[in-house]
């Protein structure tokens, strides 16, 4: 194969695709380009072991530094792509250089959604190592922190900050934290975890302003409530990084639109990871997943497409979060209106909650039961005809139920 594959983005999707191409036997050139100045690392560590200081950057690299060269992967970090010319098949870089490609994979991920408030030294976002270091330098024992947004970053940062001995207030717009991810009955239990850990969680906050004064940062809600702290972390979601793709005429709609082979609207240009909006083979419609395992699975799938072993992309998402000493795992696509079947005990934070929609299993959330999450992913894939009674029966092991299905012909 004499083709040159250029990959833009060094996150788990982009660096995963480079590795997957080699695993699939691709013998052409691979150039892996990204604006981040660090070699590929595990981004989920930013809000947890890196921020807490429990791990150094060397401990969270995806691969040793020598790996990329050994694999014949030309890794170029700290390099920003400014323009794509799909006619001449060239990408243009911020330093004026151009790189020609035969195949282009866009794995540009997302960026933090920002408040319109002006930037200040005391206001932080968390997306990359530089953000993490800046936040870490101010997150010292005894300091006070305002977290705007009680989603995944907000909850994890709140947990880490409590461990570091900071006082923490979380301001969430919705009635419950993590409401994008969890059904309300489960999100309520997570809200209780915040409170148990000494986090002051404020919900239903309609933020009007976030201003920096000499004494700290003040958040003001439209209903007149006001909170002040030494610093603030704003974690109100991420936006897919589609600018360069859109400017090149590649179809964009809530991310870069692709088909089930990860192909964009332009020939030989693919998109994977957080930025890709992909048809959902299980639920129908399009889905843009912001999950580690989705990015990894996209990487493998796009490599297969490129080497001619294409299969329609199909994967049940799965994610995990560590907060307040609990391991929370989510599978599938839990929704606010799902019927929730609880196995185990919510109050002792030892449970798996299975989410049903229109009689089908569509997702699950577990605390402290990771094996169940693996089983539920199989149940979603196989969409078996299992009664609610069986699912609710804690004496029936989910792993065994799933294993029984795997043994059956599809
Ligand atoms: P998120 O979507 O998980 O949460 C954002 C939260 O902010 C939501 O609860 C939302 O209701 C709230 N919000 C929105 N606007 C607000 C406002 N004006 N005032 C107050 N609250 C507001 O996004 P995030 O936490 O910023 O995370 C960003 C990305 O990082 C996501 O893709 C997420 O999946 C990823 N991430 C994942 C993990 C994990 O899987 N464990 C951990 C950290 C980050």
| CA–centroid distance, residue 167 to ligand 1 (Å) | 20
Query: Which CATH number covers residue 17?
Result: 3.50.50.60
Asked if residue 119 and residue 228 are part of one domain, the reply reads: yes
- From 271, 306, 341, the end of a domain falls on 306
The torsion angle over the Cα atoms of residues 356, 284, 151 and 211, rounded to 10 degrees, is -140
Looking at the CA of residue 322, tell me the nearest atom of ligand 1: 41
Q: Are residues 174 and 247 in the same domain?
A: no
Instruction: Give the end of a domain, one of 234, 254, 279.
Output: 234
Report the domain count for the chain.
Answer: 3
Percent of the chain with pLDDT over 90: 89
Per-position b or e across 108-134, b if 16+ CB within 10 A of its CB: bbbebeebebeeeebbbbbbbbebbee
Q: Is the dihedral of CA 123, 10, 363, 193 positive or negative?
A: negative
Residue-by-residue DSSP string for 128-155: SHHHHHHHHHH--TT-EEEEE--SHHHH
Question: Considering the domain boundaries, does residue 295 fall inside one?
Answer: yes
Residue 4 has pLDDT above 80, yes or no: yes
Categorize the per-residue pLDDT at 408 as very low, low, confident or very high, splitting at 50, 70 and 90: low
Ligand 1 centroid to Cα of residue 322, in Å, is: 15
* pLDDT for 382: 86
246 plus 200 within the same structural domain = no
- With respect to residue 101, please indicate whether it lies within any of the assigned structural domains: yes
Say if residue 285 is in the same domain as residue 207.
Answer: no
Contact in structure between 146 and 229 (CB atoms under 8 Å): yes
Distance 181 CA to ligand 1 centre (A): 9
**Model-level ipTM above the cut of 0.90:** yes
CATH code at position 355: 3.30.390.30
Are 218 and 244 part of one and the same domain?
A: no
CB 264 within 8 A of CB 256: yes
Query: Closest by alpha carbon to 333, among 370, 378, 364, 367?
Result: 364
State the average pLDDT for the chain: 95
**What is the DSSP secondary-structure string of 302-353?**
HHHHHTT---------EEEEEETTEEEEEEE---TT-EEEEEEETTTTEEEE
pLDDT of amino acid 407: 67
Residue 171 in contact with ligand 1 by CB distance below 6 A: yes
* Atom 4 of ligand 1: nearest residue by CA position: 151
Domain end residue (candidates: 234, 256, 290) = 234
Q: Give domain status of residue 313, yes or no.
A: no
Q: Ligand 1: distance of its center to the CA of 43 in Å?
A: 15
| Inside any domain, residue 316 | no
The reply to whether 96 falls in a domain is yes
Within this chain, do residues 200 and 335 fall inside the same structural domain, yes or no? no
Residue 320 in domain: no
Measure the CA–CA gap between 315 and 256, rounded to whole angstroms: 18
Give percent of the chain with pLDDT exceeding 70: 98
Please tell me the predicted confidence (pLDDT) of residue 385.
80
User: What pLDDT score was predicted for residue 189?
Assistant: 94
For residue 39, what are the contacts with CB-CB under 8 A and spacing of at least 6? 10, 61, 62, 63, 65, 68, 75, 77
Same domain, 119 and 219: yes
Residues 296 and 245 in one domain: yes
- 148 ligand 1 Cβ < 6 A: yes
Q: Is residue 333 part of a domain?
A: yes
In-domain check, residue 319 = no
| 295-318 pLDDT tens trace | 999 999 999 999 999 999 999 999
Average pLDDT over residues 123-131: 97
Contact 109, 273 (CB under 8 A): yes
Average pLDDT over residues 118-127: 91
Cα(102) to ligand 1 centroid in Å equals 36
Tell me if 321 CB under 6 Å of ligand 1.
Answer: yes
Question: Which of 153, 234, 296 maximizes ligand 1 atoms within 8 Å of its Cβ, making it the mutation to test the pocket?
Answer: 153
> Do 105 and 249 belong together in one domain?
yes
Backbone angles phi, psi at 193, to 5 degrees: -65, -40
Tell me the C-alpha distance between 375 and 360, whole Å. Answer: 15
Query: Tokens at residue 104, please?
Result: 């282009």
Is 273 near ligand 1, meaning CB less than 6 Å away? no
CA of 153 to the centre of ligand 1 (A): 6
Is the same domain home to 335 and 389? yes
- pLDDT for residue 294: 96
Is 145 a residue whose pLDDT tops 70?
Answer: yes
Query: For 33-45, how does the pLDDT look when each residue is reduced to its tens digit (9 = 90+)?
Result: 999 999 999 999 9
Taking the centre of ligand 1 as the mean of its atom positions, its distance from the CA of residue 371, in whole angstroms, is 26
Indicate if ligand 1 lies below 6 Å from the C-beta of 238. yes
Pairing of strands 98-100, 110-112: unpaired
Domain that holds residue 156: 114-234
pLDDT in tens, 277-297: 999 998 899 999 999 999 999
Q: How many CB atoms lie within 10 A of CB 352?
A: 25
State the pLDDT at residue 276.
98
In short, whether 323's Cβ falls inside 6 Å of ligand 1 is no
* CA–CA distance, 208 with 201 (Å, rounded to integer): 18
Given a contact cutoff of 8 angstroms between Cβ atoms, the answer to whether 230 and 222 are in contact is no
- Same domain assignment for residues 217 and 284: no
Distance in Å, CA 234 to ligand 1 centroid: 9
Q: Is the CB of 152 under 6 A from ligand 1?
A: yes
251-272 residue pLDDT tens: 999 999 999 999 999 999 999 9
Secondary structure element (H or E) that encloses residue 361, with its range? strand 360-367
| 191 and 203, same domain (yes or no) | yes
Q: Using a 6 Å cutoff on CB, does residue 237 contact ligand 1?
A: yes
């Amino acid at each position: 194969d004499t083709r040159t594959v250029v990959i833009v983005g060094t996150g788990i999707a982009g660096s995963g695709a480079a590795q997957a191409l080699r695993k699939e036997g691709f013998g052409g050139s691979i150039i892996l380009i990204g604006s981040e100045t660090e070699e590929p690392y595990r981004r989920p560590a930013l809000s947890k072991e890196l921020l807490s200081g429990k791990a150094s950057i060397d401990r969270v690299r995806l691969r040793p530094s020598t790996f990329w060269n050994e694999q014949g992967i030309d890794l170029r970090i700290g390099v920003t792509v400014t323009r794509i010319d799909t006619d001449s098949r060239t990408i243009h870089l911020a330093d004026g250089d151009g790189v020609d490609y035969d195949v282009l994979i866009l794995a540009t991920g997302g960026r933090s959604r920002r408040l319109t408030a002006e930037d200040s030294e005391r206001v932080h976002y968390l997306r990359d190592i530089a953000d993490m270091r800046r936040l870490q330098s101010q997150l010292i024992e005894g300091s006070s922190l305002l977290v705007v947004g009680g989603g995944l970053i907000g909850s994890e940062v709140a947990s880490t900050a409590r461990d570091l001995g900071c006082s923490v207030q979380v301001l969430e717009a919705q009635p419950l934290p993590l409401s994008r991810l969890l059904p309300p009955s489960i999100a309520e239990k997570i809200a209780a975890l915040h409170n148990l850990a000494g986090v002051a969680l404020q919900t239903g906050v309609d933020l009007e302003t976030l201003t920096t004064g000499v004494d700290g940062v003040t958040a003001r809600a439209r209903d007149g409530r006001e909170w002040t702290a030494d610093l603030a972390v704003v974690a109100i979601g991420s936006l897919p990084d589609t600018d360069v793709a859109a400017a090149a005429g590649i179809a964009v709609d809530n991310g870069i639109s692709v088909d089930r082979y990860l192909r964009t609207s332009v020939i030989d240009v693919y998109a994977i990871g957080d930025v890709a909006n992909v048809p959902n083979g299980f639920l129908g419609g399009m889905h843009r997943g912001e999950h580690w395992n989705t990015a990894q699975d996209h990487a493998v799938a796009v490599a297969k497409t490129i080497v001619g072993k294409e299969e329609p992309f199909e994967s049940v998402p799965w994610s995990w979060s560590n907060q307040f000493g609990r391991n929370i795992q989510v599978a599938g696509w839990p929704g606010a209106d799902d019927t929730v079947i609880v196995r185990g005990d919510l109050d002792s934070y030892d449970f798996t909650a299975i989410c049903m929609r229109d009689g089908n299993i569509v997702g699950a959330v577990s605390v402290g039961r990771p094996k169940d999450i693996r089983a539920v992913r199989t149940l979603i894939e196989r969409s078996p005809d299992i009664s609610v009674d069986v699912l609710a029966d804690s004496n029936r092991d989910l792993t065994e139920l799933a294993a029984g299905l795997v043994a059956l012909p599809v």
